[in-house]
Amino acid sequence: MSPRRVHLRITGLVQGVSYRASTRDAALELGVRGWVRNLSNGDVEALAEADAQIIEHFITWCRRGPEEARVTGVQIDEAATTEALNGFEVRR
């Protein structure tokens, strides 16, 4: 199965609630490669790559987030595979 790479923009109460750290933990548990970071407008952005079925599980997790988060939306765009992704990191 070929990998799928998606760019996600998560909206709602997603900063100050451990969303990035929890996203990293979920990604590592699922075997997703990529990164997550806060945006200046209060959203969270992520780039994720894994087999299509795993990406669907990851997106489902992102729609829920950690217990303290209140996700109101997840924008999903297919992303080009222009950079190599190893592991999953929290970016500043």
Q: Which two tokens stand for residue 17?
A: 């609630």
Domain that includes residue 42, residue range: 3-81
- Please give the positions annotated as active site: 20, 38
pTM of this structure = 0.95
CATH number of 37's domain: 3.30.70.100
- The whole-number average pLDDT for the span 30-59 is 97
Task: Decide which of 92 and 51 is more confident.
Answer: 51
- The whole-number average pLDDT for the span 48-60 is 97
- Domain-located, residue 89: no
Say how many domains are in the chain. 1
- Domain-located, residue 57: yes
Contact in structure between 14 and 20 (CB atoms under 8 Å): no
Please state, in angstroms and rounded to a whole number, the distance separating the CA atoms of residues 12 and 44. Answer: 9
In this prediction, residue 83 carries a pLDDT of 79
